[in-house]
Amino acid sequence: MRAWMMFSGLMLLSILVNSINSERICFSCSGMRQDEKCQHAITCDKDEICFVQKYFTHGNETKYDVGCTFQELCQKDVTGHILGKRNEHAHIVCQKCCNDSNVCNYDLSCQNIITRNDNIHLISTNSNHKISIYMELPDGQSHKANYTTFNVSNEHSLYVLTVTGYSGDPGQNSIDYPNDSLGANGKPFTTKDRDNDKYNGNLAVILKSAWWYSSSYYSDLNIAYSGSSGTMYWSRWSSGISKSLMMIKRTY
Ligand SMILES: [Ca+2]
């Protein structure tokens, strides 16, 4: 509750007024270090709740965002084990949502899931998991792709991706695309220093990314952000995915 001590009188008044109007108030700051306290609160839009998100930046710093978010992003797909992406290609470590009181997102703690491939392999092979991929376009339109099973093999086997059971918006099943030169399913992971793709060259170097490439690709949610020329790729919506989340959840 220390954060309450940092409110200005004006902010406290605003919170009290909005509380009377039954609107949700959340702390809203981005790029915070763990030892920082957010001193800014906002009124959420209708149907939004408070969240805390911990992530690694591209430069491997640990940062936190807090604010309002849509309830769909806090439902069961996100409350289990997650791995993911966020804007600017940082990796989500964990996320917590709350709706029990105003500014309930003052506590930056959330369940810590490290998302290196080694850990994803351990997580995904210790029990059965499904994966849900959320993609958002700049105009706010969103799409989901789900796979009922998800697995990443170990380092010795080059972190081969296995997914089955696609469902989602009508469109292309880009990861499990039946054309072997395009689909990511069954392919080893390629990084800039580990060329495991079938392309005559290294697609991870060309795309400044790392993914389960074949000789080409139909999906890549790791492409380095570089303004309009660099966007995450999912064949049907390739013209500009601005945000994506990859979430896995235990299915037992
Ligand atoms: Ca190659």
| SS3 state at 84 | strand
Asked: is 117-250 a CATH 3.30.930.10 domain? The reply is no
Nearest CA-CA partner of 156 in 110, 192, 194:
194
d(CA 103, CA 5): 13
d(CA 68, CA 25): 8
The structural domains of the chain, with segments of one domain joined by +, span 2-106, 117-250
Nearest 5 degrees, angle CA 84-CA 152-CA 148?
75
Name the residues around ion ligand 1, CB cutoff 5 A: 195, 197, 199
For ligand 1, the distance from its centroid to the CA atom of residue 182, given in whole angstroms, is 14
Amino acid at 32: M
For ligand 1, the distance from its centroid to the CA atom of residue 193, given in whole angstroms, is 11
Q: 21 or 235: which carries more pLDDT confidence?
A: 235
| SS3 state at 74 | helix
Terminus-to-terminus CA distance in the chain, angstroms?
A: 37
For ligand 1, the distance from its centroid to the CA atom of residue 140, given in whole angstroms, is 35
For ligand 1, the distance from its centroid to the CA atom of residue 154, given in whole angstroms, is 20
For ligand 1, the distance from its centroid to the CA atom of residue 50, given in whole angstroms, is 44
Nearest CA-CA partner of 64 in 52, 75, 73:
52
CB contact at 8 A, 185 and 163: yes
d(CA 35, CA 174): 41
Which residue blocks in the chain are alpha helix, DSSP H?
9-20, 76-79, 117-126, 203-207
Q: Is the pLDDT of residue 198 over 90?
A: yes
For ligand 1, the distance from its centroid to the CA atom of residue 199, given in whole angstroms, is 4
2-106: CATH topology is: CD59 (2.10.60)
pLDDT in tens, 37-68: 998 999 988 778 888 888 877 677 888 989 88
d(CA 251, CA 249): 6
DSSP letters for 147-209: EEEEEE--TTTTT-EEEEEEEESSS---TT-SSTTT--TTPPPBBTTB--SSSSS-HHHHHT-
pLDDT band at 19 (very low <50, low <70, confident <90, very high): very low
The model's pTM is 0.57
Work out whether strand 84-85 and strand 41-43 pair parallel, antiparallel, or are unpaired. unpaired
d(CA 182, CA 215): 7
- pLDDT, residue 77, reads 37
If you search the block for the tokens 């792709």, which residue do you land on?
A: 145
For ligand 1, the distance from its centroid to the CA atom of residue 218, given in whole angstroms, is 16
- For the chain, state the CA radius of gyration: 20
pLDDT in tens, 114-155: 455 665 666 566 567 788 888 888 888 888 899 999 888 888
For ligand 1, the distance from its centroid to the CA atom of residue 205, given in whole angstroms, is 10
For ligand 1, the distance from its centroid to the CA atom of residue 200, given in whole angstroms, is 5
For ligand 1, the distance from its centroid to the CA atom of residue 189, given in whole angstroms, is 11
For ligand 1, the distance from its centroid to the CA atom of residue 183, given in whole angstroms, is 15
For ligand 1, the distance from its centroid to the CA atom of residue 69, given in whole angstroms, is 40
- pLDDT, residue 41, reads 92
For ligand 1, the distance from its centroid to the CA atom of residue 180, given in whole angstroms, is 15
Tokens of residue 9, six digits = 């009188």
CB contact at 8 A, 99 and 109: no
